[in-house]
Structure 1
Amino acid sequence: MPHTYIRSSANISEDKKYRYELSRTWDDALPSIAFILLNPSTADADIDDRTVEHCVEYARRWGYGTVSMYNLYAYRTTYPEELEAQGFPVGPQNDEILKSVAATGVRIIVAWGNNARAERIDEVMAIIGRPVECLGINKNGSPKHPARLPYNLQPQAWPYQARIIQQ
């Protein structure tokens, strides 16, 4: 679904390996919403990918004017196996940016799918420090990724529980 924006931006590292934030605005009079996904693909300030298009469409349907996208891992790749081969790189600025987003109080939708490491989920949820929502829950308890979901979904609470690490 093609969209028209009044503002479009991306915070990408100089070496182009990491994308920390991607934002699309179509109406400044409406509130903002944030999505936290697994890792960024090739989308940038000028180009949307399928996931960006889906997140924008959800945000529009829910009455938002800006969507910003963040990730558990800031490493840019379209292949989950490459993310794993690289050691699931978070990116040097990612946690600070996630802290900033959480501090704004913006509504957060988590949508990273099945491939996140439990330790990283715990780290990010500690950074966020408040309840979040999702588009649905996978069998393993992870929040569903938006790319192949229908547009008529509404956010629901994500029942995150920190793992108890036995020592």
Structure 2
Amino acid sequence: MKREVRIMNYFPGCDPTEIRMSGNYRYYLSKKGERPLIVIGMNPSLANRKRADLTVRKISKVAMLSGFDGWVMLNVHPIYSTNPKAVKPTVNNKKQLRKNLNFIREHLNKFPDAPVFVAWGKNDGVYILDTGRKMVNDLLKEMGRECYAFKLNKDNTPAHPSRLPYKIMIDAATNMNCIYKLQGS
């Protein structure tokens, strides 16, 4: 069954101001701010500077409604794919993981006090995405960054934002009450 992915407009005032992409890879999408909400998802779906997918639309609105003046959307792997299960471990995809990690490190260093929310959902055994998640997990541990989730799934993975109500996300972003314990690799 193919999942339908909708693209839509951003909410007023939530439009991104920066994007870094190359071909079929998006490293980050963000709205500049001094105190942004940083979110790390699994991989980009369709969002770009002009149009949002459901995940980025929700993240951007939650950031603004929770008192942040910007937001940064990063991912454990930068490949655009509406079907994460189709992402294969090609040589280029492995190379892009390392490049992506540098962009994540750059944003974490640029905003050392910004909260980091992990929101990559369940992986379902996709090797290249699991490799990226482990690399990001290790980077976050190495940098000593405390991480949060909007909500935890029953298996303690961070819930994916597109499946959560705004109320839960806003409460978590405002109160930072759902700490995510980084895993050992």
Q: Identify the TM-score tier after normalising by the shorter chain.
A: 0.7 to 0.9
List runs of 5+ in structure 2 lacking aligned partners. Answer: 1-9, 173-177
Calculate the TM-score normalised by the size of structure 1: 0.83
**Percentage identity across paired residues of the two chains:** 24
List runs of 5+ in structure 1 lacking aligned partners. Answer: none
Return the match for 1:18 from 25, 31, 36.
25
2:179 is equivalent to residue 157 of structure 1 = yes
Q: Distance in 2 between matches of 1:94 and 1:136?
A: 25
Structure 1 or 2: more helix by fraction: 2
Q: Distance in 2 between matches of 1:121 and 1:4?
A: 31
Q: Post-superposition shift, 1:21?
A: 0.4
* 1:33-80, Cα deviation, whole Å (9 max, x unpaired): 110000001111111111111101211121011111000010101112
Q: Distance in 1 between matches of 2:151 and 2:45?
A: 22
* 1:127-157, Cα deviation, whole Å (9 max, x unpaired): 1232101111112221001012111122211
Aligned to 2:41: 37
Q: Post-superposition shift, 1:6?
A: 6.7
Aligned to 1:98: 104
> Number of residue pairs matched?
156
Pairs within 5 Å for 1:65-80: 65-80=69-84
SS, match of residue 143 in structure 1? coil
Q: Distance in 2 between matches of 1:118 and 1:162?
A: 13
Q: Distance in 2 between matches of 1:161 and 1:125?
A: 7
SS, match of residue 134 in structure 2? helix
Pairs within 5 Å for 1:6-155: 8-13=17-22, 16-25=23-32, 28=33, 31-83=35-87, 86-87=88-89, 89=93, 91=96, 92-103=98-109, 104-105=111-112, 106-115=114-123, 118-128=130-140, 129=143, 130-153=145-168, 154-155=171-172
Q: Distance in 2 between matches of 1:119 and 1:69?
A: 19
Q: Distance in 1 between matches of 2:14 and 2:59?
A: 14
Q: Distance in 1 between matches of 2:131 and 2:155?
A: 15
Q: Which amino acid aligns with 1:158?
A: Y
Asked whether the equivalents of residues 35 and 68 of structure 1 are also in contact (C-alpha less than 8 Å), the reply is: yes
Aligned to 1:3: 12
Q: Post-superposition shift, 1:118?
A: 4.8
The Cα RMSD (Å) is 2.1
Calculate the TM-score normalised by the size of structure 2: 0.75
